[in-house]
Structures are given as C-alpha cells and as structure tokens.
C-alpha cells in the first residue's frame, strides 16, 4: 500500500491520498484498457466516481476531488465573498489565501510593504478574519507570491490543486496537476462539491539532450510558446517527457509549467524526477520525497501512452530566446534579437530589466543571475538600465540575502522590491518614463500584454530568462548580445560574460525568514467577519436574478470588440486591483481596454439608444438603468490570460446577457457560465463580420437549451431586416442549472438551504 504521509508541514493531520489514486486507476484501467498519460493518471486518480464517470478526452466533463484550493488576495476577496453567501461553516478541503498582488512596487521592499499594509488594511483584515473563521491558512503580506509558497510548502507529486490564479500550474514543477480557475470554481470545492473540468486533451512535449550554458528552463517554455502560440494549449494539458527531463530542476520545471498558462493550457505536468526528490528534501518534506519516489510508477506516463499532438525539443541545441513585445508567443532567438529589433523598430534602449516574480524566483534562478552580475561588477561595470528584483517568497529572500546574492544585485545598482507581484501586475510606480513614451523593458516574468507592467501602452515588454534579463541590464540595449558581444569596462578593457552558473539548491539549506503564516485558530466560533456598508474596497454580494424563462430579444451590442481581448482588456489590473472586493466599483473598468471595431478606439462606444459616444461602463450603466440588457461580440481567444472572474461578474452586474465570440479561453468561458451569462461562439467564425455594431441581437432557443444543441442568433439590422446565424455553446446539464438559477452560486445556495 502507498505510504501515508502528511500533505504539508502546515497541516500535520491531513494526509496525501495516494491510495485513492491507486484505487481509481485500477478501475479506470479496466474500463479504458489502454496506456494512460501522466495527466490522465493524476486526473482520473482524483475522480469522484471512477466507476461511472464518462471518460473521453476533449469531450466529457470530469467530476474531480482536488486535494487543495489556493487563492491570492486579488481573487480571494470575491471567492470568499461568494463562499460566505453560500452559507457553509468551513472549507471542505485544505485551503489557503496569499497576500501578494496588492503591494505596489516603488521605492523598495521595506517602505513599499509598510505602505501596502496601511493602504490595504481593510482588505487584509477581511481576508485574515474570513480565513480564521472558515478554516483557511492565511499568508500575510510579505510572505511571498502564491505560486512560490505553494511549491515550497504545499505541492507534491500527483497532487490535484486548483487555484484562483492562472499561473497555478507552477506547482507542476513538483509533479502536481495544478489548474487555474475562477473564484466560483474554488467556492464549489471549498463547499465540498466536486470540481468540474472538461476532460483535457494531452499535448506531449518530448525533451531530449541536456540544458547547458546560457540556456535555462525558461527557454523551453519560450520555445513551446513560439511553436504552439497563445491558443495552442487550449483544452489540453501539456505533458513533458523524455530523457531531457532529468536535466531540469524542480523549480525550473515550475517555470515551464507556470508559463504554460500563456499558451492557454489547462495545466502542464512533469513526471516524478530525482530533482523533485531533492527539492522536497531541501524544503523540509523528506517524508513526501520518499513516499512519492515509492509511488513513482503512478507519477509518469505509461509506456505507449498516446498524445493528441507531440512537440520535440532537443535541449542540447536549444538557445536562449526573448519573447515579445505585447504577446508572449512572439519568439525571437537571442542570436537574432538585435537584427529583429532594428527591423521592427522596437525601441533600442532598454529602460528597465526586472527579475523574480512567481515565474523565475528560485534559488537556481537567483544564483545564476547573480553569477553574471558578480562577474560584471568585478570588472567595474554597473547596470545601464533600471534593475529590479522581486523575490518570490520570504524564504527565497531570506536565503538569497544570507548567501550574499541580493547584495550583489544591490552593488550592481539593483533595487530589491517586496516579496510580491509588484511590477508583474502593474503594481509599479515608475518614475523614469512618462505614459506614452516608447521604451523597452525585459522581464523574467510570464506575461507581457500591452500596458501590463506599467500601464503604458508604449512600453514594449519582453520576457526572457533571469540570466538573459540580468545580462541585458548591463548591456542596456537591444543591440547587445551577451553571449557574443563585449562591453567596455571603466578602465577601457573589453569584458565578456562567461555562461551563468549557479546552484540548484542552497548548500546551507533554506532560511525561512520571518514567519508570516497564520494558521486557523482552534476555536473559530468567535471570529467575526465584518464588511462595512460604506466601504469602497469591499461589498457584500447580492444574488443575480434568475433567468426569466425567455429568449433574449433584440438587445443592443454594447461593444463589438476587434482583435486581442485579454482579461486585462476586460477587467484591467494595476490601479483597479484595489476594487477586487467591490463589484460595483470594479465594474467601472469593464472592457475599457477593448478595441471598439466601429472606431478603432478603446473605451468609446456608441450608445445605441441615445446615439452618443461614451465610455463602455457608462454606456452599460445607462442600458442597465433603462432595464435594457446587452451583449458583447468578440474575436478569437477572447478572455485569454487571467482567471479573474471580475471579467465575467462585471458584465453580469452591468446587465450583460451573452458574450458571442469566435473562440474563448477556457477559464473565462467557465467564469461566464458560473455567473449566469451565455458564452456563445459563432459556428462559422466568418459570421463575426456580418454583424454591425448597430444591429440588435436575439438569442433564440433558450427554453430548450440542451447540451450539444446550437442556438440561433437573430441579427436585426437598423432597417428592420434580419437574418439568422448558428451559435454554439458548451453548456452541459449541470451548467444549464447555473444559467437557470442566475448563477452557479444561486444554485449552491439553493441546494444548501433545502
């Protein structure tokens, strides 16, 4: 029998359930009678009912029992507000909340953190008390970024984790299948309801050869993103396999899985490796290390497992890459970067280089980056661009401080920010460039959508490995290739970097740093959660109205969006993060970044009743005040990016009925369904072009809404003429109950009060 060991040092009484994986797989193997991929093993190992579950990749909806739920502060507020309204006394599975997104990076760790605690006090207090009341672990501000804390403390090989953040897959570095979800999905699982996931397809990535020299794990995923593009992973789990896997550290695999979010993958997984064992031992979990090694046969794909698609990468030949600007799949090999930047007229001076974040904060990353900085420093060089470091966790900060790595960065001219998301999510008070100034930045982060880091649409954001980012900080220009070019030292000598070298794990072990974890108290009955009705940051939720039983009839199009429309366009982060617990206030950012097809502008749409142009949220509020519902029409991969459900809730709150697009990103599509909206796709994508902003749309067939049966979209033109087109939906039986109840939450609350 598999060993029974505690899931994490923070929950000594909750055990890893390898037995269930083994039992479920025995049943599933008999039924399917074919070799299984790794992700199939982990998912099917967590089935609620392995005997009766229908299993067809890309088709069935799986009912799963995750081991853990994790939430970050920008999404936890809405998740917990929803959980509170479901009327349940405590969470059904181990869960935690992490304060990382709300800390503004400006002057440096200490003062930034102190200010954040002040400014966000109400929200932190709310999260801390809700966690105490409902039995969740609470990681306060300064503890670090959710995904780094999860890999350090909670992830384990074979785990199924869901998190209210799209980069939750980072835990794949420890062999977990960790999936980013909207808050409403987290509420289901915290409420003890199985979690539903469309059975993913499997994309195999075969790694051969060995990482070496300048090449780092980041380059694997930059390459994969270049090959598969931002929508290539939709509906699939990416599984890495092959001999090359053994040359990658656990944290490096975490980086690769983390950024799988950028290609739309449900998650990414790696088979059990000895590097996972080493990481578990070094982070204080030797029992888990041994138990998972003993269970390793169930933590890798079966011989002969079939993938829906296979990509092969030879690590021995892979060279560093720089992806961007504005989209993470625009891949340029470092060797061609100079020429490409010139050809495409990207700004050549690099204004800032940023390393760290949830994606690239490991000890290995920091030590390799520091080896370059040290070498340049010893030659008398200083960085030419602003150089910013955001450690992923307090443990990483304390350890890299102790080992002198942060001091090297400071000596070279770097600034160490708090252990938090900071500039990665627009929490960056930049003083060096003005809004509208064209400039180039390179980060070791994962996302680089327009305006993401500093809110400046003219900032060209690129992503690369921390090693390349660090070296580029010394070069200061897109014309510098750190592998081949030389810099000149103050004494006039040529200086050339040698390839980075670092340590996979700290030789002296990790230093945990300050303890910022708050475990739930033994007696939770007296904890009171308060939300002031006057608050601008938090607002209790009112249930959305149930479906009125009728078709949607001749409603206006709020906006026909053209081109890329990520969740950053639908519900911008940065300055808006402060309203993540206040639905009314945050709805003032709804779709303000989306491009209106009518005039090519953002946040300017024609009010179809008054004829006047106004901001998108204002126009929606006007329709709402008149009792008029509306729809959004959109392009491809609509809602790519974040898991933030505000991008769905605001649309619902301001009176939207449906979002009709060429295609959706997975998390956003589910978020829309959960909030009682209709996510629909054009059966023929070309029909997008047949719709004009002034048309009225009717959605016919709702009274017989049935899984797999398309609906009719009637387009009524201003002349009164109309034509019908076919729109598809992916609702299953259960999801139809959400639509009818007005939201998934209404449905839970109803079942709970019965």
Q: Which residues form the catalytic set? A: 100-101, 165, 447, 642, 644
The beta-strand segments (E) located in 20-111 are 61-64, 68-72, 95-98
Does residue 166 interact with ligand MIC by CB under 6 A?
yes
The span of 82-90, 236-244, 636-644, 710-718 binding ligand MIC (CB under 6 A) equals 636-644
Give CA 38 to chain center in angstroms: 22
* Sheet of strand 177-180, all strands in order from the earlier edge strand to the far edge: 177-180, 160-163, 68-72, 95-98, 137-139, 517-518
Q: Which of 143, 153, 282, 446 binds ligand SF4 (CB under 6 A)?
A: 446
Residue in this structure with the two tokens 């387009």, named with its chain if needed: 715
443 phi and psi, to 5 degrees? -125, 160
177 binds, among ligand MIC, ligand SF4, none (CB under 5 to 8 A by kind): none
561 - beta bridge partners? 596
643 binds, among ligand MIC, ligand SF4, none (CB under 5 to 8 A by kind): ligand MIC
Does residue 145 interact with ligand SF4 by CB under 6 A?
yes
Q: What is the DSSP letter of 590?
A: B
416 - beta bridge partners? 389
Does residue 424 interact with ligand SF4 by CB under 6 A?
yes
**Angle of the 744-753 helix axis to the 183-190 helix axis, nearest 10:** 20
* Shortest CB 269 distance to ligand SF4, Å: 19
Does residue 75 interact with ligand MIC by CB under 6 A?
yes
> What is the 3-class SS of 265-284, one letter each residue?
ECEEECCCCHHHHHHHHHCC
The residues near 431 (Cβ < 8 Å, ≥ 6 apart) are none
Number of residues that bind ligand SF4 (CB under 6 A): 14
Does residue 642 interact with ligand MIC by CB under 6 A?
yes
41 binds, among ligand SF4, ligand MIC, none (CB under 5 to 8 A by kind): none
* Shortest CB 425 distance to ligand SF4, Å: 4
Which residue, 163 or 482, is less far from ligand SF4 as judged by CB? 163
Which residue, 447 or 621, is less far from ligand MIC as judged by CB? 447
Exposed, middle or buried: residue 525 (CB in 10 Å: 0-12, 13-18, 19+)?
exposed
The span of 165-173, 190-198, 250-258, 722-730 binding ligand MIC (CB under 6 A) equals 165-173
* Shortest CB 447 distance to ligand MIC, Å: 6
The span of 164-172, 206-214, 231-239, 497-505 binding ligand MIC (CB under 6 A) equals 164-172
Tokens of 257: 């899985």
* Sheet of strand 236-241, all strands in order from the earlier edge strand to the far edge: 267-269, 236-241, 201-208, 309-314
The span of 82-90, 139-147, 510-518, 576-584 binding ligand SF4 (CB under 6 A) equals 139-147
* Shortest CB 462 distance to ligand SF4, Å: 15
CA angle 174, 175, 176 (to 5 degrees): 95
Q: Which of 77, 249, 357, 675 binds ligand SF4 (CB under 6 A)?
A: 357
* Shortest CB 45 distance to ligand SF4, Å: 27
* Shortest CB 222 distance to ligand SF4, Å: 15
Tokens of 390: 């955001």
Using CA atoms in the order 88, 93, 99, 102, what is the torsion angle rounded to 10 degrees? -60
Closest to 250 in 3D by CA, of 287, 285, 224, 278: 278
Please list, residue by residue across 666-683, b when 16 or more beta carbons sit within 10 angstroms of its beta carbon and e when fewer do.
Answer: bbbbbbbbbbbbbbbbbe
Does residue 644 interact with ligand MIC by CB under 6 A?
yes
SS3 assignment, position 396: helix
The span of 46-54, 142-150, 589-597, 722-730 binding ligand SF4 (CB under 6 A) equals 142-150
Number of residues that bind ligand MIC (CB under 6 A): 14
354 phi and psi, to 5 degrees? -130, 130
Q: How far apart are CA 468 and CA 471, in angstroms?
A: 5
439 binds, among ligand MIC, ligand SF4, none (CB under 5 to 8 A by kind): none
Q: Which of 74, 81, 250, 420 binds ligand MIC (CB under 6 A)?
A: 74
Q: Which of 40, 67, 152, 165 binds ligand MIC (CB under 6 A)?
A: 165
Q: Which of 103, 220, 313, 425 binds ligand SF4 (CB under 6 A)?
A: 425
74 binds, among ligand MIC, ligand SF4, none (CB under 5 to 8 A by kind): ligand MIC
Q: How far apart are CA 168 and CA 172, in angstroms?
A: 9
* Shortest CB 668 distance to ligand MIC, Å: 10
Does residue 691 interact with ligand SF4 by CB under 6 A?
no
Q: How far apart are CA 447 and CA 459, in angstroms?
A: 13
15 - beta bridge partners? 6
* Shortest CB 585 distance to ligand SF4, Å: 21
Which residue, 292 or 323, is less far from ligand SF4 as judged by CB? 323
Q: Which of 573, 657, 658, 744 binds ligand MIC (CB under 6 A)?
A: 573
621 phi and psi, to 5 degrees? -65, -35
Does residue 421 interact with ligand SF4 by CB under 6 A?
yes
The residues near 288 (Cβ < 8 Å, ≥ 6 apart) are 5, 6, 16, 156, 157, 280
560 - beta bridge partners? 633
75 binds, among ligand SF4, ligand MIC, none (CB under 5 to 8 A by kind): ligand MIC
145 binds, among ligand SF4, ligand MIC, none (CB under 5 to 8 A by kind): ligand SF4
Q: Contacts with ligand SF4 in 97-136 (CB under 6 A)?
A: 100-101
Give CA 690 to chain center in angstroms: 34
Does residue 358 interact with ligand SF4 by CB under 6 A?
yes
Using CA atoms in the order 171, 174, 178, 180, what is the torsion angle rounded to 10 degrees? 20
Query: Which residues of the shown chain bind ligand SF4 in the complex (CB under 6 A)?
Result: 100-101, 145-147, 165, 167, 357-358, 421, 424-425, 445-446
The site for ligand MIC (CB under 6 A) is made up of 74-75, 101, 165-167, 180, 425, 447, 573, 641-644
């Amino acid at each position: 029998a598999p060993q029974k060991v505690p899931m994490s040092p923070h929950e000594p009484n909750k055990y890893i359930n390898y037995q269930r994986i083994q039992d479920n797989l025995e049943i599933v193997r008999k039924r399917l009678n074919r070799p299984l991929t790794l992700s199939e093993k982990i998912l099917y190992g967590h089935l609620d009912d392995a005997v009766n579950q229908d299993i067809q990749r890309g088709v069935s909806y799986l009912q799963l029992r995750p081991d853990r739920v994790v939430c970050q502060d920008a999404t936890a507020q809405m998740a917990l507000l929803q959980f509170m309204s479901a009327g349940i006394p405590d969470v059904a599975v181990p869960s935690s909340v992490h304060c990382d997104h709300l800390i503004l990076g400006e002057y440096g760790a200490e003062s930034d953190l102190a200010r954040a605690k002040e400014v966000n006090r109400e929200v932190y207090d709310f999260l801390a008390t809700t966690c105490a009341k409902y039995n969740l672990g609470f990681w306060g501000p300064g503890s670090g970024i959710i995904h780094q804390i999860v890999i350090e403390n909670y992830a384990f090989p074979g785990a199924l984790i869901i998190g209210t953040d799209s980069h939750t897959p980072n835990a794949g570095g420890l062999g977990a299948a960790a999936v980013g979800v909207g808050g409403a999905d987290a509420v289901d699982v915290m409420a003890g309801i199985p979690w539903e996931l469309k059975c993913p397809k499997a994309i195999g990535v075969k790694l051969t050869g060995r990482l070496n020299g300048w090449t780092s794990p980041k380059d694997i995923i930059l390459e994969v993103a270049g090959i598969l593009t931002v929508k290539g992973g939709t509906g699939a789990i990416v599984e890495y396999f092959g001999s090359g896997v053994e040359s990658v550290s656990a944290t490096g695999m975490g980086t690769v899985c983390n950024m799988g979010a950028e290609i739309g993958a449900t998650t990414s997984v790696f088979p059990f490796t000895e590097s996972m064992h080493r990481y578990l031992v070094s982070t204080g979990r030797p029992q888990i290390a041994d138990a998972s090694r003993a269970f390793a046969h169930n933590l890798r794909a079966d011989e002969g497992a079939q993938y829906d698609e296979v990509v092969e990468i030879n690590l021995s030949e892979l060279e560093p890459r720089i992806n961007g600007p504005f989209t993470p799949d625009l891949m340029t090999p470092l060797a061609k970067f100079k020429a490409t930047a010139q050809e495409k007229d990207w700004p050549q001076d690099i204004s800032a280089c940023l390393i760290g974040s949830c994606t690239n904060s490991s000890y290995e990353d920091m030590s390799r980056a520091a080896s370059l900085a040290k070498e340049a420093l010893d030659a008398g060089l200083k960085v030419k661009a602003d150089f910013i470091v955001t450690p992923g966790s307090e443990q990483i900060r304390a350890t890299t401080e102790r080992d002198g790595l942060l001091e090297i960065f400071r000596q070279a001219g770097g600034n160490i920010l708090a252990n938090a998301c900071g500039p990665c999510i627009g929490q960056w008070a930049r003083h060096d460039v003005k809004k509208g100034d064209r400039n180039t930045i390179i980060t070791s982060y994962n996302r680089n959508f327009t305006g993401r880091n500093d809110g400046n649409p003219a900032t060209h954001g690129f992503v690369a490995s921390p090693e390349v980012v660090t070296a580029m900080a010394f070069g200061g220009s897109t014309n510098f290739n750190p592998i081949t070019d030389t810099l000149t030292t103050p004494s006039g000598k040529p200086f050339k970097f040698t390839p980075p070298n670092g340590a996979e794990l700290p030789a002296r072990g990790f230093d945990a740093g300050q303890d910022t974890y708050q475990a739930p108290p033994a007696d939770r009955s007296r904890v009171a959660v308060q939300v002031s009705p006057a608050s601008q940051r938090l607002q209790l939720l009112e249930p959305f109205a149930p479906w009125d039983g009728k078709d949607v009839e001749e409603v206006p199009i709020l906006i026909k969006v053209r081109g890329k429309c990520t969740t950053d366009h639908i519900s911008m982060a940065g300055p808006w993060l402060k309203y993540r617990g206040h639905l009314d206030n945050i709805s003032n950012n709804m779709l303000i970044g989306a491009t209106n097809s009518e005039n090519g502008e953002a946040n300017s749409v024609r009010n179809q009743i008054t004829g006047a142009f106004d901001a998108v949220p204002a126009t929606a509020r006007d329709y709402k005040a008149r009792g008029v519902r509306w729809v959004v029409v959109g392009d491809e991969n609509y809602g790519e990016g974040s898991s933030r459900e505000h991008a769905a809730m605001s649309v619902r709150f301001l009176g939207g009925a449906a979002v009709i697009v060429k295609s959706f990103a997975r998390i956003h599509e589910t978020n829309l369904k959960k909030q009682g909206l209709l996510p629909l796709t054009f059966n023929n994508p070309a029909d997008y072009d047949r719709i004009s902003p002034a048309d009225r749309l009717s959605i016919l067939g709702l009274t017989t809404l049935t899984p797999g049966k398309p609906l009719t979209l009637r387009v009524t033109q201003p002349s009164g003429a109309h034509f019908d087109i076919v729109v598809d939906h992916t609702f299953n039986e259960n999801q139809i109950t959400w639509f009818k109840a007005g939201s998934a939450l209404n449905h839970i609350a109803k079942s709970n009060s019965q």
